A and B are shown apart, each in its own frame.
Chain A
Amino acid sequence: NAGVTQTPKFRILKIGQSMTLQCTQDMNHNYMYWYRQDPGMGLKLIYYSVGAGITDKGEVPNGYNVSRSTTEDFPLRLELAAPSQTSVYFCASSADFTGELFFGEGSRLTVL
C-alpha cells in the first residue's frame, strides 16, 4: 500500500524559477493538504482541498498555487521561487472528518 507519494524528494531551484511538487494518494481520500515545515515553526498549512475541483487557502498561501482535477492528485506549484520558500514540503490526505492525516515523506526544496 503506497499511501501518499511525493516527488521529487529533493530539488534545488534558482530564484525566479518555477516548479511543481507532485502528490498522489491511493486511499481514495477526499481531503488533501500541503504543509511546509521550517525549523522551530512546526507545520504550516499552505493549501487544502476537500474534493476534486475544490481548493482553498491555508495559513501561508502566498507564492503557491494548487489544482485538484482528480481525487488522487494534488500538485503544488511555485511560480517564481524565492529564498523564503526554502523548506520541507509535506503532502497529506485524510478521509472525511476522521481526523487522521496521512503524510508523504516530504520534498526538500532549496532556493538559491
Chain B
Amino acid sequence: QQQVKQSPQSLIVQKGGISIINCAYENTAFDYFPWYQQFPGKGPALLIAIRPDVSEKKEGRFTISFNKSAKQFSLHIMDSQPGDSATYFCAASRKYTGNQFYFGTGTSLTVIP
C-alpha cells in the first residue's frame, strides 16, 4: 500500500515555465514533508521541506504548498531551467518512530530549452 501518492509520473516543461508536482497522503500522523531531487546515477538529495504548521514554504525558485485539510502537498518550480531536469520524490515521515520516511513513486521532469 502506497502511503504517499505522487503525480504525474513524468512531466515535460518549456524553459521558463512552471513545473507542478502533486502528492497526497492518508496518515494524519505524518508531520514532516520533504522533497528530494535525484539526478541520474546519483542518490536523492534534499531540495526543500515543510512541516504542517505552515501552508507554504519558498526557497528561491522552489515552493511547497501544503493543504492539511485535503492531506495534499505540492512542489512548484518557477522559471524552470534545463538544469532542473531530474526525478523528484515527495516523502512523509513521523518523528519519534525511527524517523521512517515514506516516499512517493517519483516524477521525471524534463525541461526543454
Chain A residues packing against B (C-beta within 8 Å): 4, 31, 33, 35, 40-45, 48, 50, 56, 58-59, 90, 92, 94, 96-97, 99-101, 103-106
Contacts and interface: CB of A to CB of B under 8 A. Distances in A.
A100 B105 contact: no
A4 B104 CA distance: 22
Contact of B44 (A31, A50, A103): A103
B100 A48 contact: yes
Contact of A100 (B2, B6, B34, B106): B34
Contact of A101 (B44, B96, B98): B44
Interface residues of B, number: 26
A48 B41 CA distance: 23
B61 interface: no
Contacts, number: 64
5 contacts: A40-B9, A42-B2, A48-B100, A97-B96, A106-B42
A50 B100 CA distance: 10
B75 interface: no
A100 B46 contact: yes
A105 B43 contact: yes
Nearest to B106: A42
B98 A48 contact: yes
Given A42-B6, A90-B43, A105-B42, A99 B100 contact: no
A79 B100 CA distance: 24
Contacts of A48: 98-100
Contacts of A44: 103
Given A40-B9, A90-B43, A97 B99 contact: yes
